[in-house]
Structure 1
Amino acid sequence: MINKSDILIDSLIGYHLKGAPRGLFKEAIGLMNVSKKKIIAYDIPSGLDSTTGKCYDPCIKAFATLTLALPKKAFTNNKARSHVGKLFLGDIGIPGFLYDRVKKGSRPYFINDLNIV
């Protein structure tokens, strides 16, 4: 199936990762990475810790990542950036004033790097 695809979508694990991917997740990430296909990660690349930015082995190396609502803290980690690829922020309709209630000034770190869709 991978060989017949032009683009791969990674939505295997999400941001609740606890430790390195195992079992079928580990196998799938390995197959996707060696395929040389462009990978688009949904919310966060599988194998990347959303808080620390630690890239476990294996970790998806995405061409682009579509993250939702707010960028993840992990995206400030320089090592993680090479796995995230081009970063897009998906607007899911949260009113702007609520962002400051979540964390004052959470967006300015990314404002120059984001493509809001």
Structure 2
Amino acid sequence: MRQLGTWNPLWDKLSHWDPEWTEQFMEMAALPIRREVFPPAFVELLSIAIDASATHMYAPGVRRHIRLALDLGVTRDEILTVLEMVSVLGIHACNLGVPILEEELDAHAARTAAAAP
């Protein structure tokens, strides 16, 4: 990961405490990139999507992968489209929460009506 420029300095302590495990984990994590199934620009776009997703939100990774993508010739519009696409992940909070809110509002109204004199 250091050689690929994708090392996160937050991993330094983990690497110091358990270098064998960290090395094995990094080896596994880097395997899809080393296989070169996808072009490097696509890997960077995918990495931007992962790091910018609502479940990850890792700004240093977003910055690093945007920088690498730009260096590879990826356009602003391509990166912006990835960010726009990944932003829909957050809509699931509404997809889940709004129906539950509706059910609870109906149940609350029913309880209130039943308790009224």
TM-score, normalisation: structure 2: 0.31
Q: Which has the higher helix share?
A: 2
TM-score, normalisation: structure 1: 0.31
Whose radius of gyration is greater, 1 or 2? 2
Q: Which has the higher strand share?
A: 1
